[in-house]
Amino acid sequence: MPTATAPRVVLDGAHNPQKMAALAHGLPGVLGLPRGARPVVVLGSLEGKDLATSALIAPEAVGLVATRPRVLGKAGAAPEEIGRAARTAGFAGEVAVESAPAEAIERAMAMALPLGCPCSSPGRSTSSVSSASGGTRAKAVLQQRTPWPVVGPR
Domain ranges of the chain: 9-151
| 51 in Cβ contact with 77 (< 8 Å) | yes
Q: Which comes out higher in pLDDT, residue 131 or 26?
A: 26
Q: Backbone dihedral region of 121: left (phi > 0), alpha (psi from -120 to 50 degrees) or beta?
A: beta
Q: Residue 100 pLDDT > 60, yes or no?
A: yes
pLDDT in the model for residue 146? 62
Distance CA 7, CA 23 (A): 19
Specify the CATH class of 9-151 in words. Answer: alpha beta
E strands, the chain, are: 9-12, 40-44, 63-67, 94-97, 119-122, 150-151
Distance CA 128, CA 44 (A): 7
pTM: 0.70
Q: Give the β-pairing of 119-122 and 150-151.
A: unpaired
pLDDT in the model for residue 54? 75
Q: Give the β-pairing of 94-97 and 9-12.
A: unpaired
Q: Which comes out higher in pLDDT, residue 135 or 82?
A: 82
Query: DSSP class of residue 27?
Result: H
**Residues 11-51 pLDDT 10s:** 767 777 788 888 877 877 777 777 777 888 888 888 888 88
| 69 in Cβ contact with 123 (< 8 Å) | yes
Closest to 154 measured CA to CA, from 36, 62, 67, 32? 32
Q: Which comes out higher in pLDDT, residue 19 or 96?
A: 96
| 33 in Cβ contact with 66 (< 8 Å) | no
Distance CA 19, CA 31 (A): 17
pLDDT in the model for residue 65? 92
**Residues 76-92 pLDDT 10s:** 899 999 999 889 888 88
Cα 26 to Cα 18, 33, 89: the distances in Å are 12, 11, 18
pLDDT in the model for residue 126? 46
